[in-house]
């Protein structure tokens, strides 16, 4: 068991920590702000480099490598490395969200992994000049100095690799024109920085060419980051819109610290809980000594802090149940102290389950009948107490100390021929009469013979009750 550290608060869990998708921009203003800050940084670095270069040229000294636009250790190389690393992080975060798209049958979302790898590689290259180091290693290994002066050995494979990624990325931007426009602009600036003949043909002085090439390259990096950020913003907006649209009608929404159970009708609840005619829905609230409470608001939806253990499912009721985990109350060391259920359970046939015969579905006079039981009558439930409808109308009362169970209708009148635990009619309750009471209040599972005896006794009580009511009605008719 993990010990609690006094250095950290108990509510410090992973759910409270930022997620990877939290780095994705959520508003267009965020993308614009990133672009503005990037342009300010590029302009500042180029301005500082140009000013210091002019000062050192006057003194006929070489400028430090930190302010040399052609050096890999310059401020421009550092900013380019930061921009490309940011693009790698955004691309991977977008991949974690983009892979959940439902209509992506070809799996084009995988391109974002390759985009992240490419941006990370270019970031390392901008900061360390990895390509030039590779040229020297190759020249040393082959003994030919020609490889040190020519970079064609890596231009072809790497150029083909980046061309494939760029074409796939262009297709990925097809639905988002703002991101596609930024991507096309980035390609134009890359061409301006990689083709020296364009700068020479325009008559630009040789002293300015390194600075212009550096500016074009850094703006290209910035536009790539903005294109990825804009694409991630739009993808995130589509994903959050889908979540917001599904939230009001989703049966899986529960409060914090609760566990949700999806129960199909007629499967996991005893049919005796129905309390109404077949095909109708029941609304009730149950509260007992263990803090159990239940109320209905939607069909087949359950929200609970701990998993209830039903006596048994109906043998002829197919279906399946789904359990979703939640958190328990730490003050009670895992015990369920708050239990709530939302359900509307219906039945399709009077003979769909043997539990149906345990409860008269209605009593004469139109009063709806409900069943309340203690741990002995429905083992493993472990609750007892007052049962109330959603309007606060008392249905029946079972004393927590009474482990024998009771039956009552919604107007607190006894069910047909069924004595309650507090009633003097019949002495003890039904289960006590049948000798099925739990010993010592310990719940146990009813056997088939005991269930059969209960059904038989209920049928006898129902028949006797109906007979007495008929005799009473006949006597009233004679008197009138």
Distances (CA, A) of 383 to 293, 379, 397, 410: 10, 9, 12, 19
- Residue 224 is predicted with a pLDDT of 94
pLDDT band, residue 69 (cuts 50/70/90): confident
Percent of the chain with pLDDT over 90: 14
pLDDT of residue 10: 63
pLDDT at position 219: 93
Q: Of 18-22, 100-104, 330-334, 459-463, where does mean pLDDT reach its minimum? A: 330-334
* Segments making up each domain of the chain, as ranges: 17-246, 259-471
Q: Are 69 and 52 in contact (CB under 8 A)?
A: no
pLDDT category, 264, cuts 50, 70, 90? Answer: very low
Does position 441 have pLDDT exceeding 70, yes or no?
no
| pLDDT value of position 116 | 93
Q: For residue 405, what pLDDT is reported?
A: 37
Of the pLDDT bands very low, low, confident and very high (cuts 50, 70, 90), residue 239 is confident
| Mean local confidence (pLDDT), 115-139 | 83
Q: Please give the residue that has the higher pLDDT: either 280 or 169.
A: 169
Give pLDDT, residue 236.
Answer: 84
For the record, the structure tokens of 403 come out as 């482990």
Per-residue pLDDT, averaged over 10-35, amounts to 77
Mean pLDDT of 13-22: 66
**Whole-number pLDDT of residue 271:** 42
Question: Over the range 103-121, which residues count as b (16 or more CB within 10 Å of their CB) and which as e?
Answer: eeeeeebebbebbbebbbb
pLDDT digits (tens, 9 = 90+) for 364-384: 443 333 333 333 333 333 333
The confidence score (pLDDT) of residue 445 equals: 73
Where is average pLDDT lowest: 146-150, 284-288, 427-431?
284-288
pLDDT at 275: 36
Question: How far is the first Cα of the chain from the last one, in angstroms, to the nearest whole number?
Answer: 77
Q: Mean of the pLDDT values across residues 315-338?
A: 37
Q: Which of 183-187, 266-270, 460-464 has the lowest mean pLDDT?
A: 266-270
% of the chain exceeding 70 in pLDDT: 46
- Of 20 and 256, which is predicted with more confidence? 20
Higher pLDDT, 90 or 385: 90
CA atoms of 215 and 69, how far apart (whole Å): 9
To the nearest whole number, what is the mean pLDDT of the chain? 64
pLDDT tens-place string over residues 444-471 = 677 888 888 888 888 899 999 999 999 9
pLDDT value of position 238: 83
Q: Is the pLDDT of residue 40 over 90?
A: yes
**Degrees, nearest 5: CA angle 192-39-35:** 100
Tokens linked to 126: 């901008």
Alpha carbons 390 and 297: distance in angstroms, whole number: 10
If one compares 412 and 138, the residue with the highest pLDDT of the two is 138
Q: Is the pLDDT of residue 272 over 60?
A: no
Asked whether residue 328 carries a pLDDT value surpassing 90, the answer given is no
Give yes or no for residue 33 having a pLDDT over 90: yes
């Amino acid at each position: 068991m993990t010990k609690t550290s006094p250095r950290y608060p108990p509510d410090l869990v992973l759910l409270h920590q930022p997620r990877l998708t939290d780095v994705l921009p959520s508003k267009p203003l965020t993308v614009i702000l990133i672009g503005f800050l990037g342009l300010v940084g590029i302009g500042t670095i180029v301005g500082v480099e140009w000013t210091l270069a002019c000062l050192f040229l006057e003194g006929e000294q070489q400028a430090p490598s930190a302010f040399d636009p052609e050096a890999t250790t310059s401020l421009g190389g550092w900013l380019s490395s930061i921009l490309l690393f940011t693009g790698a992080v955004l691309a991977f975060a977008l991949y974690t969200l983009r892979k959940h798209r439902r209509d992506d049958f070809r799996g084009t979302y995988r391109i974002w992994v390759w985009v992240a790898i490419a941006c990370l590689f270019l970031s390392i290259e901008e900061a360390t000049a990895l390509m030039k180091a590779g040229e020297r290693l190759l020249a040393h290994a082959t003994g030919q100095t020609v490889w040190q002066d020519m970079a064609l050995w890596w231009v072809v494979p790497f150029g083909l690799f980046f061309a494939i990624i760029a074409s796939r990325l262009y297709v990925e931007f097809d639905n988002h024109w703002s991101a596609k426009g930024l991507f096309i602009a980035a390609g134009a600036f890359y061409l301006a920085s990689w083709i020296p003949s364009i700068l020479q043909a325009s008559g630009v002085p040789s002293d300015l060419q390194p600075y212009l090439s550096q500016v074009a390259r850094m703006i290209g990096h910035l536009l790539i980051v903005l294109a990825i950020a804009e694409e991630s913003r739009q993808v995130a907006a589509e994903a959050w819109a889908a979540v917001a649209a599904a939230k009001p009608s989703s049966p899986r929404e529960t409060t914090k610290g609760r566990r949700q159970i999806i129960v199909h009708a007629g499967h996991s609840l005893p049919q005796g809980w129905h309390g109404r005619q077949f095909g109708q829905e029941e609304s009730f609230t149950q509260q007992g000594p263990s803090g159990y409470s239940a109320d209905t608001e939607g069909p087949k939806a359950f929200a609970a802090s701990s998993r209830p253990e039903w006596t048994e499912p109906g043998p002829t009721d197919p279906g399946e149940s789904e359990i979703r985990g939640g958190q328990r109350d730490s003050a009670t060391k895992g015990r369920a102290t708050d239990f709530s259920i939302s359900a509307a359970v219906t039945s399709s046939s009077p003979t769909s389950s043997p539990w149906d015969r345990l409860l008269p579905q209605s009593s004469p006079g139109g009063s709806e009948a409900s069943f309340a039981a203690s741990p002995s009558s429905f083992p493993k439930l472990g609750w007892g107490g007052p049962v109330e409808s959603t309007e606060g109308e008392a249905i029946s009362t079972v004393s927590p100390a009474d482990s024998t169970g009771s039956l009552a209708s919604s107007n607190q009148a006894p069910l047909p021929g069924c004595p309650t635990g507090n009633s003097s009619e019949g002495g003890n309750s039904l289960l006590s009469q049948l000798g099925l009471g739990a010993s010592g209040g310990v719940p146990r599972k009813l056997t088939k013979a005991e269930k059969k005896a209960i059904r038989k006794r209920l049928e006898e009580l129902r028949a006797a009750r109906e007979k007495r009511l008929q005799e009473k009605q006949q006597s009233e008719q004679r008197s009138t």
